[in-house]
Structure 1
Amino acid sequence: MRKTLLTISLIFTLLALGACGSTSAGDEKKEITIGATAGPYSDQLKEGIIPILEKEGYRVNIVEFNDYIQPNIALNEGEIDANLFQNSIYLKQFNKNHDVDLVASYAVPTAPIALYSDKHDSLDDLKEGMTITMPNDPTNLARSLNMLADFGLITVNEKADPTVVSEKDIVENKLHLHIKPIDPAQTPRSLGDTDFAFINGNFALASGLKLGEAVEIEKTPEGYLIYVTLRKEDIEKPFAKALEKAYHSDEFLDYTNKHAKGYVKPPYQVKKEENE
């Protein structure tokens, strides 16, 4: 009798394990882990996207990062399913430098990089020898320098790639400005020690700054919008399509209009409003 009971128990155990294996293989992924920098893009996920995905039966976990390297490493290694912090120009350079093949899938509403100051209200206040801090990562350093060039304050070498120019490419600095590239996350904190600072939108808003307080705001081209980034093999998977559908939804457009004033809208939101 004891032997018979053990045999029956073993059979049921094997059947249960087999059923579990069959379910996990057949079911689509219903839990998504997304990496983002703390601030507006993490907030967009929490407040605008997760409620939409939860209605579709998804559970979303957010992992917050404080740099621009680890989110891509974590995504490439499969520790997260997507990330949200970078523009497509930065990702292209990252892929090349690190020999990976991550994909910028689609843009999201983006807080533009802007020039801030605790001491001055206008570019007219700029005087010879003043100090300007800016992000030291190649893409955002280039954006900052290109803005200075647009203001007529510096001239950049015409032969330099405008997407990756550095302070070494400056051929004319009319006011002999002290240009100080620093870690992007430190730019808001530099305001107390500098005359002006170029600050990425996510770090500006996370530190309590408002776009309306900026001295000047970038007219952000599409290549500098923030993108949802995925592994190449995942872009057609149901979880990735559900995430994309949420961003393209009317519900998220309403959220953008209410809570992201001053952000640069991605093309699909602009088109949706034009067609209304």
Structure 2
Amino acid sequence: MKQIKHLTLLLSLICLVLFIAGCGKKQPNEAPQELTVGILSDTFIWKQLVQDAQEKNISISLKKYPNSNALNKALAAKEIDIAGSQTISAFDQSVKEKNLNNLVAVASSYWAPMGLYSEKYTKITQLKSGDTIALPKDPTDLGRALVMLNEAKLIKLSKEFDGIGSLDKITSNTKKLTFDLIDVDTIKTPLKNYEAVILPNESALKYHLDIYKDALTIEVVVPKPYVSILATRTDNQTDKTVRQFIAISQSKKMIDYVSTHAKNGEQIVKIPIEGLLNYHDSYTEKLEQPSGL
């Protein structure tokens, strides 16, 4: 009788241990949490995030938009849960222009460097007086391009430069370079039409340019205004699934993956969002994070 009691007790303890262990695991039939994430560019980063989130039982649907205004209007209208792949400066400008006061930046995301490319020259010092450089006409990208030219000592910008691109904000152009504003994603052969062209990262990839081999100069350290962020609505920023997605996007696994598989210098930026909010102070202020290029 005692043996039966001991056996019954042992089986009960085993069942209890198995039950407790099972409580901490995702059940096979547990329905996944769903998030719709709006993006501007379908980079390898987003594809990996979808896969990593799936492992945490979060189902991500990606929805692509043509520009920041369309992306943020969709977020405000609750068509998507999170907006990604836009820089914090582009996000702020869009929110201001469209009066989207119910949106908030909640996390840093990644950085993809901009570069100056040329088929004619192999060094930036070869640029000469009268050469024409094509710049992206999008105001945010143009501002970013001007900052890069300023850092390369090709031009000087007004001390009051506010990040919004405009050629009249150039205060010095000693090489007497000419600048044309172009739509970098629609012109077929920009490198053949100009002595040099400044291209955002995604555009450079589209033209099969390698930032490591082909760029005359690049952004050498991560600039605060041009770090991509994740944004959501103010009524959604504490949502459990949103916070889980943010954690996944900044995980060591994701950082290591992007570091290993970066196609054109991309890298995850993991800092508190508060560290980006003062980017207005200086458009040449840098994060204490090397680019690795």
Q: Same fold (TM over 0.5)?
A: yes
Aligned residue runs from structure 1 range 160-239, under 5 A? 160-186=160-186, 189-212=189-212, 213-218=214-219, 219-239=221-241
| CA distance in 1 between partners of 2:237 and 2:32 (Å) | 13
2:249: which partner in 1?
A: 247
| CA distance in 2 between partners of 1:116 and 1:168 (Å) | 23
Aligned residue runs from structure 1 range 67-106, under 5 A? 67-101=67-101, 102-106=103-107
Whether the 8 Å contact between 2:32 and 2:57 is mirrored in structure 1 is: no
2:14: which partner in 1?
A: none
Q: Is the counterpart of residue 53 in structure 1 residue 53 in structure 2?
A: yes
1:30: which partner in 2?
A: 33
Instruction: Name the amino acid aligned to 1:63.
Output: K
| CA distance in 1 between partners of 2:58 and 2:117 (Å) | 39
CA drift at 1:111: 1.2
Q: Would you tell me which structure has more helix in proportion to its own residues?
A: 1
Query: 1:55/1:150 Cα in 2 relative to 1: closer, same or farther (>3 Å)?
Result: closer
| CA distance in 2 between partners of 1:217 and 1:145 (Å) | 12
2:266 to 241, 249, 263: 263
TM-score w.r.t. length of structure 1: 0.78
| CA distance in 2 between partners of 1:229 and 1:187 (Å) | 30
Whether the 8 Å contact between 2:110 and 2:228 is mirrored in structure 1 is: yes
**SS of 2:235 mapped into structure 1:** helix
* CA deviation string 1:211-241 (max 9, x = no partner): 2121111122223111112122111112211
| CA distance in 1 between partners of 2:31 and 2:92 (Å) | 30
Query: 1:235/1:188 Cα in 2 relative to 1: closer, same or farther (>3 Å)?
Result: farther
Instruction: Name the amino acid aligned to 2:134.
Output: T
Query: 1:157/1:252 Cα in 2 relative to 1: closer, same or farther (>3 Å)?
Result: closer
Runs of 5+ unmatched residues, structure 2: 1-29, 273-286, 289-293
CA drift at 1:188: 7.5
1:9: which partner in 2?
A: none
| CA distance in 2 between partners of 1:208 and 1:65 (Å) | 22
CA drift at 1:105: 1.7
Whether the 8 Å contact between 1:88 and 1:104 is mirrored in structure 2 is: yes
| CA distance in 2 between partners of 1:39 and 1:153 (Å) | 33
| CA distance in 1 between partners of 2:119 and 2:42 (Å) | 21
Q: Is the counterpart of residue 130 in structure 1 residue 131 in structure 2?
A: yes
Pairwise CA RMSD of aligned residues? 2.6
TM-score w.r.t. length of structure 2: 0.74
| CA distance in 2 between partners of 1:30 and 1:184 (Å) | 38
Whether the 8 Å contact between 2:141 and 2:165 is mirrored in structure 1 is: no
Query: 1:157/1:223 Cα in 2 relative to 1: closer, same or farther (>3 Å)?
Result: closer
Identity rate, percent:
25
CA drift at 1:152: 2.2
CA drift at 1:51: 1.5
**SS of 1:185 mapped into structure 2:** coil
| CA distance in 1 between partners of 2:202 and 2:234 (Å) | 26
1:153: which partner in 2?
A: 154
Q: How many residues align?
A: 241
Runs of 5+ unmatched residues, structure 1: 1-26, 272-276
**SS of 1:176 mapped into structure 2:** coil
Whether the 8 Å contact between 1:188 and 1:203 is mirrored in structure 2 is: no
CA drift at 1:207: 3.6
| CA distance in 2 between partners of 1:167 and 1:39 (Å) | 30
CA drift at 1:181: 2.0
**SS of 2:63 mapped into structure 1:** strand
**SS of 1:79 mapped into structure 2:** coil
CA drift at 1:175: 2.2
Instruction: Name the amino acid aligned to 2:196.
Output: F
